[in-house]
């Protein structure tokens, strides 16, 4: 006779699935780390609004094996009745607008493994290798200031710091102990006072002067690159400084301060004079951000298509900027066909190690650019 | 009433009914457990299996689907002796009754289907537990990372074994000189002349004949493999042999179980509310899905059709008898080939579809074409058939594999990512011959990079 047993065990210690899931997560992390160059400029991240879980495509976590090409050949399916040849069962979403780049077309869309990660975790990974170079130590003292925190309650203190709510509560309790409900007869022993502690803290401020060429030659791609760079730059500096401000300066032949939105969306036509942006930057520094209070990071993006007569002026202005800032960056976005521009050539003359130039040809160059800009370097 | 007692009583009742139908389940151990445990076993395939991140990935996927209420595992049964089955905590009584009846029929199937003949059902749980323990030892001795990398490679090739002992050629058989003489030997000579031309067969060729058991071949002949690594290959191979019959009888097994749970539940005197719930469950279970076949639905319809046809046949009334015969000797391939009729194809509205541009379009409704394509797709468990042709290719100790092309091309990206795994096991450059873009192509990996070379037309 067959027997049927029904039992119930305590499974609470059976963690196997979770342990291997953890290991899988670790592998996902590793894969993300290996693919940072691709992920840094991922559209879904740059355009995301802050603290949420984002999905990043990873290509290296598939369990590869010899398999038939799912995109080729015929498969069997089942309809609800009376299906006719030619009927469309479904359509694969086409490649997303930001997915471009090499090889995306030749791979079927379902080859991605999408990992979920919070923006903060991702930022930690990206910033792991980044350092804040050229920090001037003397500033720490200059910027140290004293602040007060009320964080303690005592029975004695200044009458001005009386904590009314706690005092009333203490009174209520005392009355209750004597069997009376309600407030009344507040005496000295009910009184509670707030007390403060002093804290000395260095206030660190940083300003990013984001400058961008908005002349006709800067297309959407160039703006997108600049955007992803500034996105991470702001996030990185926020992790190092208490306050990070960003000033957006757009320029063509003239420079002006604009809002973030205008900065990334507005396009102008006409020629380019980069010196105008540098002049405005110097003016803003002088008026609003005294160098001994602020760590200043000007960074300029352009396609390098500058008026040749303007180049010498740019070089001398960059040198002036270097005197008042922590470091100066120049990123040239050259698109897929690199021409080598005259502005970049002129900048070769600037020998200061705090002047960093990067050339960006496609999305994957954003991460190396960040690394180049924020890498540990000795101050010359 | 105590839940366990209630369930046990239900099990007895269902068991009695099942026995009355002629099912031999041989007893079942039911275990009531929470969702994450069921999903763990679902991901690993076995409660005692070794640890690997890919199971964790699968577990996470299943569990997430459950958490978001997208899908649910109702039944999970382990082919051991006695069978172990898991009931989800929080399932209603009628849900669990359905699962019990279903599982009972699975157990009958495991015990009687011919393809499970060589499964060591008595010991499989312990065997897998021992494997897991040995792997943990290797992890301790050689490092987790090291073992994991090696396991990644083994699992990538795990389907390429000889699933049944009767398919494997033993050493003795190979060394056997000539078969005993018979009166018909002149027939063999006819054959021999044909093969004489191109290659008079290098005497010590390894393997002497194309070898399907890629894992086994690599285990025995791989360069640079250490003992523990050969042991891991052996374990993966053994576990795959256990799972293989289940892969090859998925439609039948689910069809069989559905066929019987339906009949058993009909006999139970369900209260109204339970009957409605049961009907809803049954409806969900038997929903057609338009991109893959629902094995429960296709399987049960075929069994029902068989019973009907053999009941009506000239010597009427043999329906049940035929059913039990089919469950004993067929696998999915032969099951569909023999019993998926024209009427069934149209009744079930089966079709073929393929990718055209970015859409999936129905291309074929002719029943024979549908049946044949379906049957072919089940060949070798649905995996590409790959053989080892040469273990000393070019006299450089390189491994030459050949994919037996049957009209379905391989995923080239996957080939190029899998070859490095073969290389890792073999220790020298590896090659795979297949047909890509209509041309015979040789994919190679030499330890540093992939290359491919067209070596012939189609």
For B8, the closest of A6, A19, A23 (CB atoms) is: A6
The answer to whether B409 contacts A69, with C-beta atoms less than 8 Å apart, is yes
The answer to whether B355 contacts A72, with C-beta atoms less than 8 Å apart, is yes
Is residue A311 classed as helix, strand or coil in its secondary structure?
A: helix
Task: Please name which of B7, B4, B35 lies closest in space to residue B100, comparing C-alpha atoms.
Answer: B7
d(CA A370, CA B9): 68
Residue A334 pLDDT > 70: yes
pLDDT band at B174 (very low <50, low <70, confident <90, very high): low
How distant is the Cα of B96 from the closest Cα of chain A, in angstroms? Answer: 11
pLDDT at A106: 31
pLDDT band at A100 (very low <50, low <70, confident <90, very high): very low
Is residue B141 classed as helix, strand or coil in its secondary structure?
A: helix
Task: Please name which of A231, A263, A235, A236 lies closest in space to residue A247, comparing C-alpha atoms.
Answer: A263
How distant is the Cα of A107 from the closest Cα of chain B, in angstroms? Answer: 8
B294: how many CB neighbours lie within 10 A of its CB?
Answer: 19
Strands B83-88, B28-33: pairing is parallel
pLDDT band at A251 (very low <50, low <70, confident <90, very high): confident
For B15, the closest of A2, A19, A71 (CB atoms) is: A2
Residue A346 pLDDT > 70: yes
d(CA B134, CA B154): 16
Q: Which CATH class is domain A203-373?
A: alpha beta
Chain B hits for A10, CB-CB cut-off 8 Å, are none
- What number is the average pLDDT over the span A297-315? 85
Chain A hits for B160, CB-CB cut-off 8 Å, are 66
A-interface mutation test, from B53, B107, B383, most A Cβ less than 10 A away: B53
B-interface mutation test, from A1, A3, A5, A6, most B Cβ less than 10 A away: A6
Instruction: Give per-residue pLDDT as tens, B284-293.
Output: 889 888 888 9
The answer to whether A66 contacts B432, with C-beta atoms less than 8 Å apart, is yes
For B411, the closest of A9, A26, A68 (CB atoms) is: A68
A-interface mutation test, from B3, B61, B358, B435, most A Cβ less than 10 A away: B358
For B56, the closest of A11, A17, A71 (CB atoms) is: A17
For A78, the closest of B4, B348, B383 (CB atoms) is: B348
The owner of tokens 């030619």 is: A86
Instruction: Give per-residue pLDDT as tens, B131-159.
Output: 999 999 999 999 999 999 999 999 999 99
Instruction: Give per-residue pLDDT as tens, A237-249.
Output: 777 777 778 898 9
Residue A138 pLDDT > 50: no
Chain A hits for B36, CB-CB cut-off 8 Å, are 17-18
| For A107, nearest residue in chain B (alpha carbons) | B413
ipTM confidence score: 0.86
Percent of chain A exceeding pLDDT 90 equals 6
Residue A66 pLDDT > 90: yes
How distant is the Cα of B107 from the closest Cα of chain A, in angstroms? Answer: 11
pLDDT at A92: 64
A45: how many CB neighbours lie within 10 A of its CB?
Answer: 20
**Lowest-confidence region among A34-43, A360-369, B209-218:** A34-43
pLDDT band at A229 (very low <50, low <70, confident <90, very high): confident
Taking CA B58 as the corner, what is the angle to CA B53 and CA B298, rounded to the nearest 5 degrees? 145
**Lowest-confidence region among A191-200, A365-374, B24-33, B191-200:** B191-200
A vs B: CB pairs below 8 A:
237
pLDDT at B103: 94
**Residue B62 neighbours by CB under 8 Å, 6+ apart:** B39, B42, B43, B71, B73
Residue B67 pLDDT > 60: yes
Chain B hits for A67, CB-CB cut-off 8 Å, are 383-384, 410-411, 414
CA B159 to chain centre: 9
Instruction: Give per-residue pLDDT as tens, B327-355.
Output: 999 999 999 999 999 999 999 999 999 88
pLDDT band at B412 (very low <50, low <70, confident <90, very high): very high
Query: Which position has the higher pLDDT, A230 or B403?
Result: B403
- What number is the average pLDDT over the span B54-60? 87
Residue A51 pLDDT > 60: no
For A14, the closest of B40, B52, B63 (CB atoms) is: B40
How distant is the Cα of A100 from the closest Cα of chain B, in angstroms? Answer: 17
Chain B hits for A70, CB-CB cut-off 8 Å, are 411
Instruction: Give per-residue pLDDT as tens, A278-296.
Output: 999 999 988 888 887 788 8
A269: how many CB neighbours lie within 10 A of its CB?
Answer: 9
B-interface mutation test, from A74, A83, A116, most B Cβ less than 10 A away: A74
The answer to whether B373 contacts A94, with C-beta atoms less than 8 Å apart, is no
Among A32-41, B282-291, B323-332, the range of highest mean pLDDT = B323-332
For A24, the closest of B60, B297, B384 (CB atoms) is: B60
d(CA B122, CA B81): 5
The answer to whether B359 contacts A92, with C-beta atoms less than 8 Å apart, is yes
The answer to whether A2 contacts B28, with C-beta atoms less than 8 Å apart, is yes
pLDDT at B330: 95
How distant is the Cα of A121 from the closest Cα of chain B, in angstroms? Answer: 20
Query: Which position has the higher pLDDT, A342 or A110?
Result: A342
Establish whether the linkage from the previous residue to B82 is cis, with ω within 30° of 0.
yes
Q: Average pLDDT over chain B, rounded to whole? A: 89
Q: Residue A237 pairs with which residues in a beta bridge?
A: none
Domain-by-domain residue ranges, chain A? 17-61+111-128, 146-201, 203-373
d(CA A1, CA B27): 8
pLDDT band at A265 (very low <50, low <70, confident <90, very high): confident
Establish whether the linkage from the previous residue to B276 is cis, with ω within 30° of 0.
no
Among A77-81, B179-183, B438-442, the range of highest mean pLDDT = B438-442
| For A20, nearest residue in chain B (alpha carbons) | B56
């Amino acid at each position: 006779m067959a027997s049927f047993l029904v039992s119930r065990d305590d499974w609470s210690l059976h963690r196997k699935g979770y342990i291997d899931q953890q290991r899988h997560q670790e592998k996902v992390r590793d894969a993300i780390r290996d693919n940072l160059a691709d992920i840094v400029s991922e559209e879904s991240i740059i355009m995301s609004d802050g603290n949420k879980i984002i999905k990043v495509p990873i290509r290296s976590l598939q369990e590869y094996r010899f398999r038939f090409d799912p995109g080729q050949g015929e498969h069997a399916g089942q309809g609800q009745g009376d299906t006719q040849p030619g009927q469309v069962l479904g359509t694969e979403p086409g490649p997303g607008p930001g997915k471009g780049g090499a090889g995306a077309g030749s791979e079927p869309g379902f080859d991605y493994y999408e990992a979920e990660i919070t923006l903060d975790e991702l930022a930690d990974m990206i910033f792991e290798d980044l350092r804040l170079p050229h920090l001037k130590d003397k500033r720490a003292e200059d910027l140290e200031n004293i602040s007060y925190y009320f964080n303690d309650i005592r029975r004695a203190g200044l009458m001005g710091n009386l904590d009314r709510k706690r005092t009333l509560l203490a009174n209520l309790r005392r009355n209750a102990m004597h069997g009376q409900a309600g407030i009344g007869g507040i005496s000295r022993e009910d009184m509670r006072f707030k007390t403060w502690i002093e804290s000395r803290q260095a206030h660190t401020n940083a300003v990013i002067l984001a400058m961008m060429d908005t002349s006709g030659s800067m297309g959407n791609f160039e703006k997108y690159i600049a955007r992803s760079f500034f996105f991470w730059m702001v996030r990185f500096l926020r992790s190092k400084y208490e306050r990070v401000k960003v000033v957006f300066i757009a320029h063509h032949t003239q420079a002006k301060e604009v809002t973030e939105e205008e900065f990334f969306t507005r396009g102008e036509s006409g020629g380019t004079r980069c010196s105008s942006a540098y002049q405005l930057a110097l003016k803003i520094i002088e008026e609003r951000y005294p160098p001994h209070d602020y760590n200043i990071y000007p960074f300029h993006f352009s396609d390098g298509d500058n008026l040749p007569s303007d180049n010498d002026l740019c070089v001398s202005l960059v040198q002036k900027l270097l005197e008042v800032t922590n470091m100066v960056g120049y990123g040239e976005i050259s698109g897929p066909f690199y021409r080598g521009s005259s502005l970049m050539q002129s900048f070769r003359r600037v020998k200061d190690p705090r002047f960093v130039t990067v050339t960006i040809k496609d999305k994957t160059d954003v991460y190396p650019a960040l690394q180049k800009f924020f890498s540990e370097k000795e101050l010359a | 009433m105590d839940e366990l007692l209630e369930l046990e009583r239900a099990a007895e009742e269902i068991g009695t009914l099942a026995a009355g139908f002629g099912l031999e389940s041989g007893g079942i151990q039911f275990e009531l457990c929470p969702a994450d445990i069921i999903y763990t076993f679902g991901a690993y395939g076995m409660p005692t299996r070794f640890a690997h991140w890919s199971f964790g990935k699968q577990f996470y996927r299943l569990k997430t689907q459950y958490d978001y209420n997208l899908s649910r595992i109702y039944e999970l049964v382990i082919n051991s002796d006695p069978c172990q089955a898991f009931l989800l905590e929080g399932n209603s009584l009628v849900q669990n009754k359905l699962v019990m009846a279903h599982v009972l029929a699975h157990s009958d199937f495991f015990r009687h289907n011919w393809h499970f003949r060589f499964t060591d059902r008595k010991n499989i749980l312990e065997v897998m537990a021992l494997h897991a323990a040995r792997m943990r030892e290797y992890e301790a001795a050689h490092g987790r990372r090291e073992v994991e990398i090696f396991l990644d490679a083994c699992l990538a090739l795990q389907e390429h074994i000889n699933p049944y002992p009767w398919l494997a050629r033993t050493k003795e058989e190979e060394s056997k000189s000539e078969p005993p003489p018979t009166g018909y030997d002149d027939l063999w000579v006819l054959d021999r002349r044909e093969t004489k031309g191109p290659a008079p067969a290098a005497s010590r060729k390894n393997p002497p004949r194309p070898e399907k058991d890629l894992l086994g071949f690599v285990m025995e002949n791989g360069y640079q493999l250490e003992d523990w690594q050969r042991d891991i290959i052996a374990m993966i191979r053994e576990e795959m042999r256990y799972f293989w019959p289940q892969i090859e009888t998925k439609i039948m097994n689910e069809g069989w179980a559905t066929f019987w749970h339906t009949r058993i539940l009909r006999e139970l005197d369900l209260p109204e509310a339970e009957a409605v719930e049961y009907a809803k469950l049954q409806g969900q279970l038997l929903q057609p899905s338009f991109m893959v076949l629902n094995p429960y639905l296709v399987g049960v319809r075929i069994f029902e059709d068989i019973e009907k046809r053999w009941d009506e046949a000239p010597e009427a009334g043999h329906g049940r008898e035929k059913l039990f015969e089919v469950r004993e000797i067929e696998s999915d391939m032969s099951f569909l080939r023999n019993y998926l009729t024209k009427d069934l194809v149209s009744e079930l509205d089966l079709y073929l579809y393929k990718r055209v541009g970015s859409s999936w379009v129905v291309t074929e409704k002719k029943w024979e074409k549908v049946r044949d394509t379906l049957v072919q797709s089940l060949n070798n468990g649905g995996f590409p058939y790959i053989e080892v042709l040469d273990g000393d290719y070019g006299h450089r100790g390189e491994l030459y594999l050949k994919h037996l092309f049957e009209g379905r091309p391989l995923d080239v990206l996957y080939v190029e990512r899998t070859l490095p795994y073969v290389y890792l096991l073999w220790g020298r450059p590896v090659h795979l011959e297949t047909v890509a873009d209509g041309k015979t192509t040789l994919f190679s990996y030499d330890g540093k990079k992939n290359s491919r070379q067209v070596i012939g037309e189609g």
